[in-house]
Amino acid sequence: MSHPMLKTNFKLPLRFVWGVLPVDNGDHLDPADLGTLVLDPTFDMSDPKSQEWLTSFCQNVRQQPFYQSMVGPLLQNCFIETFIKSMKRKCYDPIENRNRTPCCETSTFPFERSIFDMCIVEEIAEIYQTPSEFLNPVAGPRFSKDNFPTIKAVVVEYDSNYSYSMSYEHMHEFYTKVEEWMKEELKTAPDNMKNGWFISELHFYDLQRELQSSAVNREAATRHALSYMSPHNGESLLETELIYSGIATPNWTQSEFVEGHFLVAFLGPV
């Protein structure tokens, strides 16, 4: 039976995350143990430098050879761009008969921290009044649950021009290209945006890579044990074989972390 993503020519998402650290603190021997979410204490989307940098980042993504042009309103895909456009509106709204100041044309980009924190909550609340079929369930900012919400995490997402495949070479090429590009981009990021990371639909690729890595490590360990083995210490080789073939210690990639932790904890404004 073929994978549903193969039948639909599913385009792999370009998904970039800030505010959450890619830490797997669950029990590696218990797939049901997802661990706990670890927020990035250095992340600060309200900083004007962060606003400017993320805007440039979104523009740069769309210039890359792995980017796929998208149709539709794209309200959340790069939320900062939608926010900038909405802040150019007239301050007086005759339909609702209200003054939107300072969340209007009187404020200029990059926005002061206090204005950003206040107006972004209003903007996202309005976006979520849009019918769900026009919204991306993953992309956008995620907020704290206190009386004065602030952004705690951000996801920027676009489509790539790579289709989902069970070919290791194809998926490895996709992952490597985007990952290397992301690392280069982060070199220009302000300190409070440097811990961003890239993920996609990489579950099967994760498994393939782990199996490949485990096989290489096991072979190397066996050779190492053989080089030190004497006629009297055959037990050491047997012990090495048992360790490398019987104990599951997967090094899960960031996509597993997000699917298991981030989306569950941060789906929608909270």
For 20-54, what is each residue's pLDDT tens digit? 999 989 888 888 888 999 999 999 999 999 999 99
Least confident of 132-136, 169-173, 205-209, 225-229: 225-229
Residue bearing the bigger pLDDT, 61 or 235: 61
User: Token pair of 7, please?
Assistant: 């039948």
How high is the mean pLDDT of the chain? 80
Q: Is a pLDDT exceeding 70 seen at residue 152?
A: yes
User: Token pair of 250, please?
Assistant: 């997967």
Query: What does the DSSP assignment read for 5-72?
Result: HHHTTPEEEEEEEESB-----S-TT-TT------B-TT--TTSHHHHHHHHHHHHHHTTSTTB----S
For 155-168, what is each residue's pLDDT tens digit? 999 999 999 999 99
**SS3 (DSSP) at 214:** helix
Which pLDDT band holds residue 96 (cuts at 50, 70, 90)?
confident
Looking at residue 70, its pLDDT comes to 84
Looking at residue 234, its pLDDT comes to 39
Looking at residue 8, its pLDDT comes to 61
Residue bearing the bigger pLDDT, 219 or 158: 158
Looking at residue 203, its pLDDT comes to 87
Q: Is a pLDDT exceeding 50 seen at residue 245?
A: no
Looking at residue 85, its pLDDT comes to 94
Residue bearing the bigger pLDDT, 248 or 182: 182
Looking at residue 249, its pLDDT comes to 34
Burial of 141: CB neighbours in 10 Å, binned 0-12, 13-18, 19+: buried
Strand partners, 140: 155
Residue bearing the bigger pLDDT, 165 or 230: 165
Identify the DSSP state of 258.
I
Looking at residue 147, its pLDDT comes to 85
Residue bearing the bigger pLDDT, 137 or 170: 170
Which pLDDT band holds residue 210 (cuts at 50, 70, 90)?
confident
**Number of residues in the chain:** 270
Which pLDDT band holds residue 238 (cuts at 50, 70, 90)?
very low
Which pLDDT band holds residue 6 (cuts at 50, 70, 90)?
low
Residues 130, 111 contacting (CB under 8 angstroms):
no
Which pLDDT band holds residue 200 (cuts at 50, 70, 90)?
very high
Least confident of 12-16, 112-116, 218-222, 239-243: 239-243
Q: Is a pLDDT exceeding 90 seen at residue 75?
A: no
